[in-house]
Amino acid sequence: MNELPLSITEQLNNILQSILYVVPETALAILFLLVIITGLLLKKDADRFCQLLSLFGLVFVFQRDVQQLYLILSGPKFLFNNMLLLHHVSIVFKLIFEALAFLIVVYVPLDEQLKVHKKGLSDLYAIIIAVVFGLHLMAMSVNLLMIYLSVEMVSIGSFLMVAYRSENRFAVESGLKYVLFGFAASATMLYGMSLLYAFTGQLDLFNGQFLEQLIHLNPVPVSLAILLVLTGIGFKLSFVPMHFWVPDVYEGAATPIVAFLSTLTKIVGFALLANFLTPFIFFSHWTAFDFRLFFSAVAILTMVTGNFAAILQNNLKRMLAYSAIGHTGFGLMALVTFSQQGVSALLFYLLVYALANIGALMLCSFYAGKNSMLTVQDLRGLGKTYPFAGVCFVILLISLTGLPVSAGFNGKVLVFSAVIEVYRQTHNIWLLALLVTGAVTTVVSLFYYFKIPLYLFLKSAENETELPAEKKQTFLLIIIGLLSALVLLIGIYPGFLSDLVR
Amino acid sequence: MDHLLTLLIFTPLLFGIVLLLLPVSLRNSFKYLALAATIVQLVLSGWLYFHFQTGASFSGINHAEQYQFAEKLSWISLSLGSMGKMQIDYFVGVDGLSIGLLFMSSLVMVVAVLASWEIKTNLKGFFALFLLLDMAVIGVFCALDFFLFYIFYELMLLPLYFLIGMWGGVRREYAAIKFFLYTLFGSVFMLLVMIGLYFSVTDPATGNHTFNIIHMMNPANYVQGSIFSTAHQTLFGFPARSLAFVVLFIAFAIKVPVVPLHTWLPDAHVEAPTAVSIILAGVLLKVGGYGILRVCFSIFPEVATAGAFWLGLLGVISILYGALNALAQTDLKRLIAYSSVSHMGFVLLGIASQTTEGISGAVMQMLSHGFLSAMLFFLVGIIYVRVHDRYIYNFRGLAKLMPAFTVFVMIAFFASLGLPGFSAFIAEAFSLIGAFTSASVNGLLPAWMAVCGSIGILLSAAYFLWTLQRMFFGETRLSGGENWRAALTDLNFREKSALIPLALMALIMGILPSLVFDKINDSVLALVHLFR
Amino acid sequence: MEQIYTLQTHSSEIQLALAAVLLPFAAFIINFLLPKTVLNKGEGLFSTVCILFSLICSCLLFAKVWARKPIHEQVLWFQIGTIKIYAGLLLNNLSVLMLPLVSGIALAVHIYSVAYMHDDLMFRRYFRYLSFFCFAMMALVVSDNLLLMYAFWELVGFASYLLIGFWFTREKAVQANKKAFIMNRIGDIGFLIGIMILFAHFHTFDLITLFNYPTNFSSSGNLSGTWLIVAGICFFLGATAKSAQFPLHTWLPDAMEGPTSVSALIHAATMVAAGVFLLARVYPVFNPDVKLIITIVGTFTAFMAATIALTQNDLKKILAYSTISQLGFMVAAMGIGAYASSLFHLATHAFFKCLLFLSAGVIIHEMQHIKEKLHLDIDPQNILYMGGLRKVLPITFITCIIAALALIGFPLTSGYLSKDGILIQAFEWAEGRSFLYQLIPIFILITSWLTAFYISRLLFKVFWGESRLKEMIPTFEYHPSKENKLFTWPMLFLSVFCLFPFFSLNPLLYEHAWLFRGFLAADYFERENIYHTIIPAAVNLITVPVVYLAYARYINQNIKWFPESGFLFRLSYNHWYIDQFYQNYIAKSVVWTGRKIYAFDLFVIDGLVNLIAKVGLIISQISNWLDKYIIDGAVNFIAFRIRDIGSFARGFQTGKVQQYLLTMLIFILSIYIFKILI
Amino acid sequence: MVLTKNNAIQVLIGIEFMINAAVINLVAFGKYDRYHNSGQIFALFAIVLAAAATAVALAIILNVYRRFKTIDPAKIDALKD
C-alpha cells in the first residue's frame, strides 16, 4: 500500500545525515548529563556550579542554533525519515527558547522561596535543560509520534518543576492539579492520534497520503480526532476550554517556574500548533474542519475570559495568570491569519510578551519576599519606598497593556496590521470581530494592569513602617532594570528585533 | 538652524534626565531646573514664531514642502515579509495652525512651573513627569507622521495619570483612572483607523505604505480598493471613510471636550493640582481642537463638509450646556472647568462653519482660551494654596483683603467673558461671524446656530459676574474667620510674575490681532480651499 | 447736507480728534501709574485738566468740521483670510457734535466731583474710572467701523459697571452693577447679531462702505427684506439696552447706587445717549416697519417712565425715570423720522438733565451733612424729608428751576425748541395715517404734561414749604451752608446751555436752530402748516395749570386729587412690577435651568459613564458567575455529590482538578455536537 | 472514572485505561501498515511514556498525601479563586 520499504541501509544513511542537523539537541543532551553528574559529585556548592554550567551550555547551544540558520538557507530539511522538520521558523523558536531559558536559569537562584530549598537547586537546572531539549524537539516535530514524545517529555519535566518545592502546601497542590490535568490531556491527545493513525495509517503529517485518506472519510469522526489532538496541544497553550489549570498552578508554583511555564511552554505550544496546522492549511480543498472559524471563536473566548476575569483578581500572580490567558488569545488572533506576516507578528508579540511577563514575575518575587501570597493590597505605598522597582513595574505593565513607546505596543500594532491585511483580502467577518475584541480587551486590560501602580503610587501605605531594608536583591533589580530598558528600547527601535524575527 | 523643532521637543526630555540623575538632596533645585527648561523652550518657540514666514507659498496644509522647520528621517523600517516594508519616519514640521499653539503652550508651561511651587511631596517624580508631559505636548503639535502623532498623543496620558493620581485632591484615583480610560477608549479605536489608513495610502516617493499625514490628505496616494480609498468602500454597512471620520472625531472630541463626552473634565480639573490643571486646561484641550483640524478635517474633508451641520450643532450644545452648568456650580474650579467646556464649544462651532473667519476665529479662540484658562486656574490655585478651600459661598468681599489679586481676577474674568480689548472678544466674535456667514457662503450651518452661540456669551457674562460679585464684592465675611483672614495675603512677586505675562498676552492679542492672524491666514485659506 | 465725501488728509483735524479722544486715556494711564504720594488730590486735578484740553480740542474740531465735508481716516487693523479689517476715525456732523457735548459735560462733572468726592478715601480710583469712561465714550463717538464701535460700546458698559459698583462694599451697589452689565450685555448681543447680518452680506464693517455716507442707504442690494428687518431690530435691541428703553430699562433706576456725579455724567447725558447715537449712526438700516416699532417702543417707554416717576420718593429715582422718558422721546423721534430734532433734543437734554442731577447731588450732599450732624437715620435721597431748601441753597435752587423749565419745554428754554420740534413732527408724521397712528403724538403730548407734573412735584417738595424734618425734630433749623464754589460753577456753566440763545436766536421756531439745520436731510422742505403754531401753544398753555396743580397739591394740600393709594399708585410706585417680574421669572428661571442641567449632567451623563463602567464590571461578574454556577451546578447534578453543594467553590477555579477535566470534556463534546449539527 | 473517583490513585488508573485504549487502537490498526509498523512502534513508546508519567504522578501524590493527609482531589482545593 505504501512504497517499498526503505532498506535498512538507506534509513541508516538518512539518520546519519540528519545527525548533522541536530547538533544543538545533542549538545543539550550532553549538557543535561553533565549537570546531573556535577549535581551528584559536588555536594556542597553544587548549585552555583550547576547554574554556571547550564548557563554556559545554553550559550553554546544558542551559538549552535545561529550556525544552523546558515545550514538551512537552501530550504527546510526533513530529518530522521520525516520525524523532524528543521525550517527557519523553528530555528527562531529555538533561539527564543535559549534566550528565555538563560534568563530563567539566571532568575532561579534569586527567588527567595526557592533559595531556601533544602534539596538544593542543582536538580532543577537539570530538569530545565531536559525540558528545553523537549522544547527543541517539539518545535521541530512533524510526526505524530514525535509530537507525543516531545509533549510528554516537556509535560513530565514541568510536572516535576511545579511540584519541586515539596515542603510547600500550595506547590504540592498545584503540582497535583497540574499532573492530573496534564496527564489526562495527553491521554486524550494520544487517543486522538491513535484515531488519526487508524484513519490514515500514517504518522507523518507532511506525507501526501495522510490528507488524501482524511478527505475521503466522513468529516465528523475526522474532526473528533483532530479535536482530541488539539486538546493536548491546548493544554500546553491553555486556550479557553483548557485554561482552568492556569490560575491555580501559577498561584501555587514558585515564581521562576511560573515564569518558565507562562512563557516557554506557551510559545512552544504556538510552535507546535503552527507545525500541526501547516499541512491542513496549505492543503487546498480541506473542508472537514474549518480551523479559522474554530480558532477565531476560541481566540475571542480566551481574550474575553482572560481579561474580564482578571478584573476581579486581587492576588498578583493569579491576575498575571489570567492576563497570560488574555495574551494567548491575542497570539491566537495572530496565528488565525495563517499568513507569513501573521506568524512573524506572532513571534515578535510572543517574545515581547515573554520579556515583559518574566520581568513582571521577577518583580512579584521581589515584592513577595518570603510569603508566597502577594495581593495587590500588599503593594500599597511601596512605590515611594522602592521608586526604581516601581518605575520598572510601570514600564513593564505599559508594555503588557500595549501602550505606545513600549515594545508591547509595536507587537500589537504588528498583529493588528497582519489581521487587517488578511481581512482586506478575505473580508471574513470573524477577523473583524477579532479586531474589535482585541481593541476592547486592551482597554479592559489597562483597567486591571493599572490597579498595580494605583496601589503602588497612588495609595499611601497606612502603616508607614519601613519595609525591611535588607531586601537588597540588587542583582535582581539590575536584571529587572535591564528587562524594562530592553522593552523600552524595542518600543522605540523595533527594527533590529523584527529583522531577526522575520 | 534646521534641527530647531527636534531641539524644542526634546529639551524637556534632556532636562528631565538631568533631573532624574540629581540626588534627592537638591530638592529645591528641581523647580528651578524645570523653570530653566520651560524658559529655554519659550525662547525657542518665540524665535520660531518670529521667524515663521507668511505668504501664499507657506500655507502648508496639504503641501509637504511648504511646512517650515520640517525635519524628516526614517525611524522604523520593519520589513514584514510578504507585505513589504513598514516605513515609519520621524517627520516633524510646523505650519500656520501649529505655530501659534506651540508658542502658547510653551508660555503656559512656564506659568505652570511657576504654579508648581506649592508642590511639596516627591518633587523629583513630579518634575520628571511634568517635563515628560511637556515633551509629549510639544511633540503632538509638531508631529506630521500619524504614528508619531499617535505616540505623542498617548504619551501625554501616562504622566497626567500619575500627576493627577499622586498629587491630586481627595477623589484623585477616581478622577485619574476616569480620565485615563476615557482618552484611551477614544485612542484605541483611533489606532485601528490609523493602521487602516496606513494600508490604504502609499508614499509616492518610496512606493510602500506610509503613515505620513500629508500623503493621506491627497486622494492620489490612495491604493485602489483599499479600505479608506475614496471609492467608498463599506465597513459594517457604513461608508468606511465616514466611519473613520466619526471614530477619529470621537477620539478628539473626548479631548476637546464636546458635551456628551466631557464628564471627565470637571473631575480631572477639580482633583488635579494647580500646575497640572493649568496644563490640562491651557494646552490639552487645544490638542483636541488641533487634532480635529489637522487629522479629521484635512484627511476626510468631504466627510467633514457632509457632517458640518452636526458638528456645528455639537458646538452650540456644548456652548450652552457648559455655560448653564457653570451657572449652577458652587466650587470655583468646577465652574471654570465648565466654562472651558463652553468656550471650547466656540472652537468647534468656528471649525464646523468651514469659513475663513470661522476657522481663524476658532484658532484664535484656542490661543486666547489657552492664556485665559491658565490665568483663571492659576488664580484659583492662589486661593486654594492659602486656605485649601474653593467653595464660592465661603468667601465674601475679598476685594478689600486682596486688592491686587482682585484686579487680576477682574482682568481674567472680563477677558474670558469677551470684553473688547481682550483676545477672547475677537476670537468669539469671529467664530460667530464665521458661523453666521457660513449660511450664505457655503450653506453649511443655519444662521440660528450663531445666534444661540451668542447667547453663550451672555451666559458666560452671567456666571462670571455672579462669581465676581459673590466672592469679591460686599462686606468681607469669610467662613474660615480670622485665620483665613490672616492667610489670605495678597499676591507675592512670583505669582505676579506669572500672571502679568498672561494678562499682557491676552491684551496684546486683543488690541493687535494681526499678530496672530497674519501667521494663520495662509494656512486657513489653504484649509478652506481643501474643503471646496 | 450736500457735502460730498472726499478723503483728504486733514492731518490737523485728525490730530485734534485723536488728541480729544486720547487725552482722557492718558489721564487714566497716568493716574494708574502715579504713586499715591505725589499730590494727595492730584488725580482729580490732573484728569480735570486733561478733560479741559480735550474739550478745547473738540470745540476746535467742531469749528473746523461742522457743516463741512466729513473726514475719514483709517489704517489696516488686521487681516482675516482675504478680508481686511480697518480701524479709523470718521468725523461727520454727528460725531463732531457729540465730542464737545460729551467733553463739556464731562468737564463740568469732573470739577463737580473734585469737591463731591473730596472726603472719599478711594478718590484716586474714582478719577481713573471717570477718565477711562470719557475715553471710551469719545472713542465710541468717532470710530468708523461697526466692530470698533461695538468694542467701545462694551467698554462704555464696562466703565459704567465699574462706576456703578464704585462703593463695592455696599451690597445693593454690587447687585446694581451686575444687573446693569448683564442688561447691557443683552443689548450687545443684539448689536453683535446686527453686525453679523451686515457682515454676512457685505463682508465689511466700515460704516462708510456700508452706508456710504452721506448719501442715504440705497445699497440694500442683495440684503433681502426679512434680513433687513431682523438687522434693524437687532440694532434697535442694542440701543434699547444702552438707552434703557422699555424691555431693558430696569437697570437705570438701580444704577443710581453709584455716586451722584457718576449718574450725572453717565446716566443722564452721555452713556444713555449712546443708544440714540447708535440709532443715528446706523439710521439707513431701519426700513419703515422697523421705524414703526421704534416709535411705538419709544412712546410707550416715555409714557410708562413718566407715570412711574409720578410717585417715586427717591430724588435720584425720579430723575432716572425722567431720563428714561426723555430718551423715549428721542427714540420715538428717531422712529417717526425726525432725525434732526431727536439729536437736537439729545443735546439739550444732556445739558439740563446733567444740571438736574448735579443739583440733586448738592441737595443729597446737604442732607447727608444734616444727617451726620444730627445722626438721624433718614435716607438722604428721600424727598419726603426735604423741604424749604430754597433759602439754604439759593444758587442750586435757581439752576434747578432753569433745568426743570428746560425739561418741561417752557418757552425761552432750549428744551422748548427741541421737545416741540419732536411734537410737531410727530403730529405731521401721524397726519395722513389711520387712527392708531394718531395715538403716538397724543401719548407724547400726555407724557410731556406728566413730565411737567412730576418735575414740579419734585421742585415743590424739595424747595418750597417747610422742611419735613421739623415735624420730626421741632428744634431743627437750617443754617445756611456755604455752597461750595466747585459745585456752583459747573452748575451755572451748564445752566447757560439750558437757555435758548445758545442754540438759536429765535426762541420760538425750532427750525432756525443751527444744530437742527446741521442734521436736516437734504430733501427737507419747510412745511408751514397749522401744527407749527397750535401744538407749541397748546402744550404751553396746559403746562401752566398742570404746574399750578402740582403746586396746589403739594404745598398747600388743598386738593386731594392724587390719593397716595389705589391700584394705579401701587402699579406706578413699584415700577409696574417689571423689576420683580424680571427678578423672579427670568433671572430665577435661568439659574433654575442651570441647576437642572447640572443635575442632569451629574446624574445622567456622568451617571451614564459610571453606568458604562459599572456595566463593564457587571459583565465581568456575569461572565464569572456564568462560569461558576451554570457549569458547576451541572457537574454536581451529574456526579450526585449532594454534600458538595455545601462547599460551592467561590470562583470557578474550584480547585478540583476533576471538575476542570469535566468542563473540558463538556466543551469538547459541545463542539463535537455542534460539528454534527452543521 | 477519572472524573468521579475521589481517590487520586484511582484517577491515575482511569488515565491509564485511556492510554491503554489508545494503545490497543494503535496496535489494532497496525495490521494494515505492514511495512512501517509505525503503529506498533508508537504503541511501544506510548507504554513507556505512560509508565514514566505515572511514576512522576505517584511521587507527587505521595507528597500531597504527606501534606494534606488525603488524596481526594475534591478536598484539595486550597488554591481557588
Coil, helix or strand at residue B12: helix
Calpha distance D29→D41 (Å, rounded): 12
In degrees rounded to 5, what are phi and psi of residue C641?
Answer: -90, 75
Domain count, chain B: 1
Calpha distance A310→A316 (Å, rounded): 10
CB contact under 8 A, B82 and A341: yes
Q: Is the peptide bond before B501 cis (omega within 30 degrees of 0)?
A: no
* Domain edges within chain D: 8-68
Closest CA to B95 of B528, B531, B524, B532: B524
- Model confidence band, residue B373 (pLDDT cutoffs 50, 70, 90): very high
Which of A179, A195, A251 minimises the CB distance to D79? Answer: A251
pLDDT for position B133: 92
Question: Which cell is A308 given?
Answer: 474580564
pLDDT for position C2: 35
Calpha distance A371→C420 (Å, rounded): 103
Closest CA to C324 of C275, C381, C285: C275
CB contact under 8 A, C661 and D81: no
pLDDT for position C651: 41
- Model confidence band, residue B109 (pLDDT cutoffs 50, 70, 90): very high
Which residues lie closer than 8 Å to A398 by C-beta, 6 or more apart? A405, A406, A408, B158
- Domain ranges, residue B506: 307-532
Predicted TM-score (pTM) of this structure: 0.81
Q: Is the peptide bond before C474 cis (omega within 30 degrees of 0)?
A: no
Mapping DSSP onto H, E and C, the string for A253-269 reads CCHHHHHHHHHHHHHHH
CB contact under 8 A, A495 and B78: yes
Cα torsion B449, B451, B455, B457: sign: positive
* Domain edges within chain C: 1-143, 349-573, 585-677
Mapping DSSP onto H, E and C, the string for B215-263 reads HHHCHHHECCCCCCCCCCCEECCEEHHHHHHHHHHHHHHHHCCCHHHCC
Q: What is the identity of the amino acid at B256?
A: V
CB contact under 8 A, B420 and C151: yes
Calpha distance A18→B327 (Å, rounded): 83
Calpha distance C336→C316 (Å, rounded): 30
Which residues lie closer than 8 Å to A405 by C-beta, 6 or more apart? A398, A488, A491, A492, B151, B154, B155
Calpha distance B505→B498 (Å, rounded): 12
Chains A and B touch (3+ CB pairs under 8 A): yes
Over pLDDT 70: what percentage of chain B?
A: 95
CB contact under 8 A, C661 and A181: yes
CB contact under 8 A, A244 and C617: no
pLDDT for position B82: 54
Which of D29, D61, D78 minimises the CB distance to A198? Answer: D29
pLDDT for position C647: 28
Local structure of residue A119 (DSSP, 8 states): T
Chains A and D touch (3+ CB pairs under 8 A): yes
pLDDT for position C299: 86
Chains D and B touch (3+ CB pairs under 8 A): no
Q: Render pLDDT for B416-442 as a digit per residue (tens, 0 to 9).
A: 888 888 888 889 988 888 888 888 777
* Domain edges within chain A: 290-502
Provide, as residue numbers in chain D, all residues whose Cβ is less than 8 Å from the Cβ of A160.
56
Closest CA to B333 of B282, B373, B286, B387: B373
> The complex's ipTM?
0.75
Local structure of residue A369 (DSSP, 8 states): T
Closest CA to A226 of A154, A145, A290, A150: A290
Calpha distance C436→C439 (Å, rounded): 5
- Residue ranges in A369-492 assigned as alpha helix (H): 382-385, 387-401, 407-426, 429-449, 451-453, 474-492
In degrees rounded to 5, what are phi and psi of residue B302?
Answer: -70, -30
Which of B321, B472, B521 minimises the CB distance to C79? Answer: B521
pLDDT for position A139: 86
Calpha distance B89→B208 (Å, rounded): 12
Q: Distance (Å) from the C-alpha of residue A444 to the closest C-alpha of chain C?
A: 9
pLDDT for position C216: 44
Residue D64 has pLDDT above 50, yes or no: yes
Structure-derived torsion over alpha carbons of residues D60, D65, D67, D69, reported in degrees to the nearest 10: 170
Length of chain D (residues): 81
Which of C658, C667, C676 minimises the CB distance to A220? Answer: C676
Which of D32, D56, D64 minimises the CB distance to A201? Answer: D32
Tell me how far the alpha carbon of residue A402 is from its chain's centroid: 19
Closest CA to B152 of B348, B1, B296, B10: B10
pLDDT for position C530: 61
Asked if residues B522 and B55 have their Cβ atoms less than 8 Å apart, the reply is yes
Calpha distance C158→B414 (Å, rounded): 9
Closest CA to A494 of A406, A396, A418: A406
**Residue B507, burial from CB neighbour count under 10 angstroms (0-12, 13-18, 19+):** middle
Asked if residues A110 and A476 have their Cβ atoms less than 8 Å apart, the reply is yes
Provide, as residue numbers in chain A, all residues whose Cβ is less than 8 Å from the Cβ of D25.
191, 194-195, 197-198
Asked if residues C349 and C403 have their Cβ atoms less than 8 Å apart, the reply is no
Calpha distance B133→C134 (Å, rounded): 48
Coil, helix or strand at residue B30: helix
Spans of chain C, pLDDT less than 70: 1-10, 34-43, 212-224, 376-378, 432, 465-484, 500-536, 552-578, 583-584, 586-587, 601-656, 678
H-helix or E-strand spanning residue A146: helix A144-162
pLDDT for position C648: 34
Conformation bin of residue C509: beta by default, left when phi > 0, alpha when psi is -120 to 50 = beta
Calpha distance C47→C27 (Å, rounded): 5
For residue B185, what are the CA distances in angstroms to B190, C140, C420, C490? 9, 52, 73, 71
Asked if residues C169 and B473 have their Cβ atoms less than 8 Å apart, the reply is yes
pLDDT for position B32: 86
Q: What is the identity of the amino acid at A238?
A: S
pLDDT for position C214: 45
Please identify which residue in the block is written with the cell numbers 509508565. D51
Provide, as residue numbers in chain D, all residues whose Cβ is less than 8 Å from the Cβ of C651.
80-81
Question: Which cell is A206 given?
Answer: 507532511
Angle between helices A407-426 and A429-449 (to 10 degrees): 160
pLDDT for position C522: 47
CB contact under 8 A, B192 and A416: yes
Q: What average pLDDT does chain C have?
A: 74
Closest CA to A396 of A265, A486, A303: A486
Residue B250 forms contact with A (CB below 8 Å): no
pLDDT along chain A (502 residues), means of 10: 60 77 83 85 75 86 82 73 79 87 85 69 85 88 86 88 78 84 87 85 74 76 84 83 81 85 88 84 69 84 81 81 88 84 86 90 80 72 78 88 82 85 78 84 81 76 52 76 86 73 61
pLDDT for position B1: 60
Which residues lie closer than 8 Å to C269 by C-beta, 6 or more apart? C101, C102, C105, C349, C350, C351, C353, C354
Give the 3-state secondary structure percentages of chain B, helix then strand then coil, rounded to 5: 75, 5, 20
Q: Render pLDDT for B467-482 as a digit per residue (tens, 0 to 9).
A: 888 888 877 777 777 7
Closest CA to C151 of C183, C203, C181, C192: C192
Each as own residue / partner, the long-range contacts of residues B384-389 (CB below 8 Å, 24 or more positions apart, any chain) are B384/B274, B384/B333, B385/B118, B385/B274, B386/B487, B386/B488, B386/B489, B387/B480, B387/B484, B387/B487, B387/B488, B389/B479, B389/B480
Rg, Å, chain D Cα set:
17
Provide, as residue numbers in chain D, all residues whose Cβ is less than 8 Å from the Cβ of C657.
11, 73
